[in-house]
Structure 1
Amino acid sequence: MATARTEHTERRGGTEPGARRVTRRRSETRARLLDAAFTVFAAKGFGRVSIEEVCDAAGYSRGAFYSNFASLDELFFALYRQRADLIAGQVADALAGDTAALDVPASVDRVSEVLLLDLDWLQVKTDFLTHAAREPEVARTLLPHRARLRGAIAERLDRARTPLPAVLGDAGAAAHAVVAAYDGVTTQLLLDKDVDHARAWLKQLLTALLTRDGDPRSP
């Protein structure tokens, strides 16, 4: 006769692998839906996409969609959150260093590369910002993700004690200025599609913002 402990072990052994498979399968389904949605949103725009189009692109039924997302809005926000967190992590990595000192020109180069590589992302992000501007509740959920990007920049500037132009004030204000410069440059980029020009212009703006008199050699 099996003991209570044996029965418990057998039950665990019989259910856990299946549960893991279900969890992994659902995770893979969700990831495929997000990837498909990114492609479709970038091509057509958020307001012109239906759930059916996302499902067709991912190769799933509406049932698979609704087992992961309650609505297209929820999927859109999950997609934004996924990409925004990725970008914030990339920026943090680009600013990371073994020493406290920050090489401003080199860091500006790395950040410019990270922030300007994906035109599809810029189109999706712009759609989401426009959507959030009309929906206060959506805007409130968006704010922490933009704050994370600013926080990654501010933390690095503060840790390095980088001398900043007096007009900017502290590292937090400088981070706001960096993100504002990025937003401005990418608006033009969405129109002319000239990534090389946008990257060069962003580097000039960030260098001017983060160094005294716009000279990276200034103390």
Structure 2
Amino acid sequence: MTAEGTARRVTKRRVRTRARLLDAAFAVFAAKGFGRVSIEEVCEAAGYSRGAFYSNFATLDELFFALYQERAELIAEQVSGALALDGPDLDVHAAVDRVTDVLLLDLEWLLVKTDFLVHAARDPGVARTLLDHRARLRRAVADRLSRARGHTELPAVLGDVEDAARAVVAAYDGVTTQLLLDKDVEAARAWLRQLLTALLTDGAGPV
């Protein structure tokens, strides 16, 4: 086998190892909480040695950061994709339905996300990462609302699309906080659909 072929095999193996470590860490973090998990526990759950861990991550914080980024990217893509299907005209009710249908409302993810939020509140560097992600979500929403201006009647109260995007993200935050407590995913989707419809249509039309 050539050196290039060997390198590809090593790269693929490392990608698989990293993915297994991330999956194992997600399960352990969700079950116990970030601050109560050791590197050894993650390795045991993944079926790897500490050497495999350190060949992919320098610290548990770095792994936690990578895990958060992976899920955060997924959510940003879900929102962007759901909002991109219409042309210049924005069918608000259909777009809201698509967003609430595909949006990740996973209780284990919300537990990990909450741990990350608390961690970020105590670490300015981590906080910047979280703020960057939230800004990306807002940009996806604001861009779609901006393109709809002049084509679709939106509530005058929205004013600045940036403010409207902040309101949409805040609605998601509120619904997911409630979901953490009552664990009713279907109710969370229904409530999020109602909130977003009210924000973007003054509550008019079907919910």
CA distance in 2: counterparts of 1:117 and 1:185, whole angstroms = 10
Distance of aligned partners of 1:102 and 1:190 in 2 relative to their CA distance in 1, 3 Å threshold: same
CA distance in 2: counterparts of 1:116 and 1:35, whole angstroms = 16
Q: TM-score, normalised by structure 2?
A: 0.93
**What is the correspondence of 1:51-200 to structure 2 with a 5 Å cutoff?**
51-161=39-149, 162-200=152-190
1:25 is aligned to 13
RMSD: 1.5
CA distance in 1: counterparts of 2:189 and 2:130, whole angstroms = 25
**SS of the residue aligned with 1:209?**
helix
Stretches of 4+ moved more than 4 A in 1?
none
Structure 1: which 5+ runs fail to align? 1-12
1:165 Cα deviation after fit: 2.7
2:204 is aligned to 215
Greater CA radius of gyration, 1 or 2? 1
Report if aligned partners of 2:101, 2:189 keep a CA contact under 8 Å in 1: yes
Structure 2: which 5+ runs fail to align? none
CA distance in 2: counterparts of 1:98 and 1:112, whole angstroms = 16
1:184-204 alpha-carbon deviations (Å, 9 max, x no partner): 111111001011111111111
Report if aligned partners of 2:21, 2:43 keep a CA contact under 8 Å in 1: yes
Report if aligned partners of 2:105, 2:176 keep a CA contact under 8 Å in 1: no
**SS of the residue aligned with 2:2?**
helix
**SS of the residue aligned with 2:90?**
coil
1:149 Cα deviation after fit: 1.2
1:216 Cα deviation after fit: 3.9
CA distance in 1: counterparts of 2:102 and 2:32, whole angstroms = 24
1:119 counterpart letter in structure 2: L
Report if aligned partners of 1:104, 1:216 keep a CA contact under 8 Å in 2: no
**SS of the residue aligned with 1:70?**
coil
**SS of the residue aligned with 2:153?**
coil
1:37 counterpart letter in structure 2: A
1:167 Cα deviation after fit: 3.0
Aligned residues: 204
Q: TM-score, normalised by structure 1?
A: 0.88
2:31 is aligned to 43
Report the more deviating stretch, 64-73 or 111-120.
111-120
1:100 Cα deviation after fit: 1.4
1:74-115 alpha-carbon deviations (Å, 9 max, x no partner): 000000001000110011111122521111111111111233
1:37 Cα deviation after fit: 0.8
1:116 Cα deviation after fit: 4.7
**SS of the residue aligned with 1:214?**
coil
CA distance in 2: counterparts of 1:30 and 1:116, whole angstroms = 22
1:163 Cα deviation after fit: 3.4
